[in-house]
Structure 1
């Protein structure tokens, strides 16, 4: 249903809460209020904590935005997705472009400076020109944050079948790359800073909750299908766990009633697991991974030692796709758009460097160093 960020679960300190993954705006505002009251009762929640909610821009949802604000929501993410009714129908959305614009107008009044929109590019039949026109219209209307996503075809959906049967066609890869670069250019001109691969903000309106993921903090996931990464409290453990909640809502609710939780799977994370996640997610940010952050999770292996020895990585550095300096490791403006291409070589070198460092540091007992816990995040 959503997510909660905490700096340390053992200290029960919440830094952000996110209601998302589905359609939380279908819930009654009173339900959201009760969840927040419960969180505040069992943890410490600062008065200025970011509490975000995803919402579909339907007329029904828009009519209740004021109630959601009254319930405690401080930041709204609207799933606009497109400003073309035919595209919205193809995407299976139940709102119209006009409803999206009305919802955005209402959201901006209620959450000034804290309204975000999601928009999808690479839609069937979409051209670079039509995408640029649509985005120009949006940046003139949206508040301070835009999340930009390339269309992903999910196997088993009607859209996937239509594309497979060639009833619909999606843009080619070169055209998709051109759309992405056009969006970066248009948003930048409008005053938006690209602070992450898919996220743009102006006036400092970044999503603090998502920054927690990209910086490797712990987070607790609560709700059907939610994921979490945290050090369990009260189990005398120092290793972080990856937890997955039961996917189906009815099954999840039944397990919560029967066992007190809906956790389906628990996997103890190794130090290498944590470092790999930090590398993949940290490089999504424009400021990348600082040396300080890396050493919090890997005190015995610096960033230079972890990835700097690979000939392929050195080539990326020479081509200025990657930057490794006294600040840390990050992608350049050009490299950020090519992150998926850069990651395999970085991950391979990290694995090789880590195994080498572990082999050299193994004591006579043959034990392996424990993984470090990072700061915390959480899901509801």
Structure 2
């Protein structure tokens, strides 16, 4: 999952995107990294500052889904060799600029990265290994569309160094898939899932969407239960978000389609959480569920605040470039369009279009927003690495508004740290309004 996708589709968090736009001055929800400037002599801080996760964006798709406004392009004649060379070069340039010594995980997203040849993935991973340590057991994930992931290609991905798949199944109903503009059928999904589980047992994740026009709680439960009888140990559960400029948004605006009411959407989310937990899944993040320890290492790096390097058109990143004695974290956005991006990479080695220095408050706001997405929340030790002079108790412990949220059972602030309760995770956006205001007042 790329950073910009985190705000796109998930349950009842429409306000979160606006909060982050104001807080960090970027268009989409982006990620944070461990702030090594706080205590550069700390052994733990040094360890975090010397490593990063790597996201690689493949911008091309065979068609645009009716609900999608991600940075993707429909191109009939993609010069994969040139794109490969540019991805390889930019990855090397940005890793060198960050001066990290270790890449903790790699995630190939898009677009439809399963359209890439396994040889392209292998070349990128080889380049990464030349510039930083990529452990043999490092998590390497590829997002997969069932129509571009035949058995031979999946086997090729594994040989190239991929060890985890994320399959965009979205639904097991062919009518829903047509409505979403997907170019695969439920049968395609089942075939791909079966082969993926054979090649990547315990490391195959599936994405599924709820809140579709015409969908009921009963039909949603039926889809989810069918999927759970077939899936592996990780499920990403997203609520459909209607984005301006998409075909589905236009159809709903014209009254041609109608979405479930908010109360129905809330019931869909709550019943899905209960079903997944009854099947042994842990809800370790707002939209992510895992069992048998199959948590996504790469996505955890976002929520835990690690450095992140974004490669490819439109990719976002967070890292501290070691240059000119400056030791501030930068928010980076790569050039959106593939052709201009490739020209920039070939010219100067990377296609960074925008760089923004982040203040300490920017960082803390991101730590708060991202950390509370996790079931474990933000521990006192974690918070101190970012702001040792301003504790969680100092910021939130004396607030009447925060205390009211605790008394209502939405938040917990105790010896472990700050976290949402079970019901608090379902209304995180409304909690963040109060918490962000309190943080800003304490600053």
Same fold (TM over 0.5): yes
Secondary structure at the residue paired with 2:232? Answer: coil
Which residue does the alignment assign to 1:242?
331
1:68-87 to 2 correspondences below 5 Å: 68-87=157-176
Is the CA contact 1:55–1:61 (under 8 Å) kept in the aligned structure 2? no
> In the alignment, is residue 131 of structure 1 matched against residue 243 of structure 2?
no
Match of 2:293 among 190, 201, 204: 204
How many angstroms does 1:7 deviate by?
A: 5.1
Match of 1:318 among 404, 407, 429: 407
How many angstroms does 1:64 deviate by?
A: 0.9
Is the CA contact 1:57–1:80 (under 8 Å) kept in the aligned structure 2? yes
Secondary structure at the residue paired with 1:58? Answer: helix
Which residue does the alignment assign to 2:312?
223
1:341-378 C-alpha deviation (Å, 9 max, x unpaired): 10000000001111xxxxxxxxxxxxxxxxxxxxxxxx
Is the CA contact 2:115–2:148 (under 8 Å) kept in the aligned structure 1? no
Which residue does the alignment assign to 1:88?
177
How many angstroms does 1:235 deviate by?
A: 3.6
Secondary structure at the residue paired with 1:113? Answer: coil
CA distance in structure 2 between the aligned counterparts of 1:63 and 1:93, rounded to whole angstroms: 22
How many angstroms does 1:46 deviate by?
A: 1.2
How many angstroms does 1:256 deviate by?
A: 0.8
1:1-380 to 2 correspondences below 5 Å: 8=50, 9-58=98-147, 60-354=149-443
CA distance in structure 2 between the aligned counterparts of 1:47 and 1:196, rounded to whole angstroms: 27
Is the CA contact 1:7–1:13 (under 8 Å) kept in the aligned structure 2? no
How many angstroms does 1:233 deviate by?
A: 2.5
CA distance in structure 1 between the aligned counterparts of 2:348 and 2:158, rounded to whole angstroms: 33
Q: What count of residue pairs does the alignment treat as equivalent? A: 354
1:290-346 C-alpha deviation (Å, 9 max, x unpaired): 111100000110011122232211100111210011111000111111111100000
Is the CA contact 1:62–1:103 (under 8 Å) kept in the aligned structure 2? yes
Is the CA contact 1:125–1:169 (under 8 Å) kept in the aligned structure 2? yes
Which residue does the alignment assign to 1:365?
none
CA distance in structure 1 between the aligned counterparts of 2:186 and 2:252, rounded to whole angstroms: 23
Is the CA contact 2:203–2:233 (under 8 Å) kept in the aligned structure 1? yes
CA distance in structure 1 between the aligned counterparts of 2:324 and 2:182, rounded to whole angstroms: 44
CA distance in structure 1 between the aligned counterparts of 2:376 and 2:268, rounded to whole angstroms: 23
CA distance in structure 2 between the aligned counterparts of 1:226 and 1:74, rounded to whole angstroms: 22
Is the CA contact 1:227–1:243 (under 8 Å) kept in the aligned structure 2? yes
CA distance in structure 1 between the aligned counterparts of 2:330 and 2:172, rounded to whole angstroms: 41
How many angstroms does 1:234 deviate by?
A: 3.3
1:127-176 C-alpha deviation (Å, 9 max, x unpaired): 00000011000111100000000001121111111000010111110000
TM-score normalized with structure 2 length: 0.78
Gaps (5+ residues) in structure 2?
4-32, 34-47, 51-97
How many angstroms does 1:59 deviate by?
A: 5.8
C-alpha spacing 1:33/1:166, structure 2 compared with 1 (3 Å): same
CA distance in structure 1 between the aligned counterparts of 2:196 and 2:364, rounded to whole angstroms: 38
Which residue does the alignment assign to 1:357?
none
C-alpha spacing 1:339/1:178, structure 2 compared with 1 (3 Å): same
TM-score normalized with structure 1 length: 0.90
How many angstroms does 1:27 deviate by?
A: 0.6
Secondary structure at the residue paired with 1:19? Answer: strand
Secondary structure at the residue paired with 1:130? Answer: helix
Q: CA RMSD in A?
A: 1.6
